Structure formats: C-alpha cells, structure tokens
C-alpha cells in the first residue's frame, strides 16, 4: 500500500473512531436525561399517592367501585389492569 493510501485509511479510521465516541456520548447524555425525567415522574407519583392516602383516610373509598371504574374505562385486555387494581388496593390499605 502506498503511503498516501495508508494515511487516508488512518484518517477514515480516526473519523469512525470520533463518530463512535460522539454516539457514545450522545447515548450517555440521553440516558441521563431519561433517568432525570423518570425520577421526576416517580416524585410526582409518590406525591400524588401521599395526597390520595391522606384523602382516603378522611373520605373512605370503596375498592370495588374503584376497580369497577378501572374495568369500565380500560380496554378489556389492556395490559396494566391488574397492576392498576393492585395500586387501588395499596392506596386503600387493602394489601
């Protein structure tokens, strides 16, 4: 291989290396943004749960009525229905 061709290959390899590093850094930054957003969502959910837990102590809620509402407002085979019902039980202290 000629010296010029070797230098060109080295330049292209450096470009690929730089692109891989850039992609890695962008992915790392995206993960950080995602984790921060997930932390915000978790904080909101916990805050809302604490408000609801305090409210149900003053104003009791029938778990069956809440679950009935879930069933009538979710598609029949919706994923998460069981989890939502478990949350109802958790918030109402029916573990």
Give the chain as a 3 state SS string. Answer: CCHHHHHHHHHHHHHHHHHHHHHHHHHHHHHHHHHHHHHHHHHHHHHHHHHHHHHHHHCCCCHHHHHHHHHHHCCCCCCCHHHHHHHHHHHCCCC
Output the pTM of the full model.
0.63
pLDDT at 46 over 90: yes
Q: What is the pLDDT of residues 15-36, one digit of tens each?
A: 999 999 999 999 999 999 999 9
Instruction: Give residue-wise pLDDT tens across range 59-70.
Output: 999 999 999 999
How far is residue 85's CA from residue 74's CA, in Å, rounded to a whole number? 12
């Amino acid at each position: 291989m000629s010296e010029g061709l070797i230098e060109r290959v080295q330049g292209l390899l450096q470009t690929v290396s730089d692109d891989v590093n850039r992609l890695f850094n962008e992915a790392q930054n995206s993960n950080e943004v995602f984790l921060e957003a997930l932390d915000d969502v978790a904080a909101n959910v916990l805050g809302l749960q604490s408000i609801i837990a305090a409210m149900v102590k003053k104003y009791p809620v029938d778990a069956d009525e809440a679950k009935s509402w879930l069933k009538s407002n979710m598609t029949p085979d919706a994923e998460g229905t069981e989890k939502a019902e478990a949350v109802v039980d958790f918030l109402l202290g029916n573990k």
